[in-house]
Amino acid sequence: MVHSVRAAGAILAAFLAAAPAALAQQGTAPLESRLAARKVVVVDGRDTFADANAARPGDVIEYLATYRNTGASALTGMQATVPIPGNTEFVPGSARPAGAKASVDGRAYADIPLKRTVTRDGKQVEEQVPYREYRYLRWTAGELGGGKTLVYTARVRVIDDRTPGEPGSKGGGR
């Protein structure tokens, strides 16, 4: 199951690829961003962190998006968007600060937990969207003062959702 190391690399690559889109929303030059992904390791009941490139199914990855206004004037309307790649699921309650919205498609964002209407036995019912279907989190910062920094964090769990019989999956099949 070495596929998980590739998945961890894809997680970080997708996270970093989203940076230009998040920054493009700002439309201003004095904004610096630093993006990081790190594996959460619990030692003696406390969270510690390790390199995310060695993640495997079941491991938890924490994303950190740090935005710093290097200018003197406040920036307004800033939105920070963090992708949630395939082969991961959002860990509920891990988005910080509170107030993040979630999306399954990158277009429509709503409060967590996401809900959708489905038809069952000819009736429309509302159900909660599984966390493994979340693909983006977004925070609206409002205003970021000159020289100030904002940090956004969220955690995902690496999952192995390949179909049985696929090479390297739990179902075998080479």
DSSP calls for 125-146: EEEEPPGGG--EEEEEEEEE-T
Q: Under a CB-based contact definition with an 8 Å cutoff, are residues 83 and 27 in contact?
A: no
pTM higher than 0.85: no
Which pLDDT score, from 0 to 100, does residue 120 have?
Answer: 92
Residue-wise pLDDT tens for the chain (174 aa)? 333 444 445 444 544 444 444 444 445 469 998 889 999 999 999 998 988 887 899 999 999 999 999 999 999 988 899 999 889 999 999 999 999 999 999 999 999 999 999 999 999 999 999 999 999 999 998 889 999 999 999 999 999 866 454 444 444 443
Which pLDDT score, from 0 to 100, does residue 162 have?
Answer: 63
Q: Under a CB-based contact definition with an 8 Å cutoff, are residues 151 and 33 in contact?
A: no
Q: 101 - beta bridge partners?
A: 111, 138
Which pLDDT score, from 0 to 100, does residue 15 have?
Answer: 47
Which pLDDT score, from 0 to 100, does residue 60 have?
Answer: 96
Q: 140 - beta bridge partners?
A: 79
Q: Distance between CA 18 and CA 136 in Å, rounded?
A: 10
Q: Distance between CA 39 and CA 156 in Å, rounded?
A: 10
- Give the chain's domains with CATH numbers: 3-158 (2.60.40.1170)
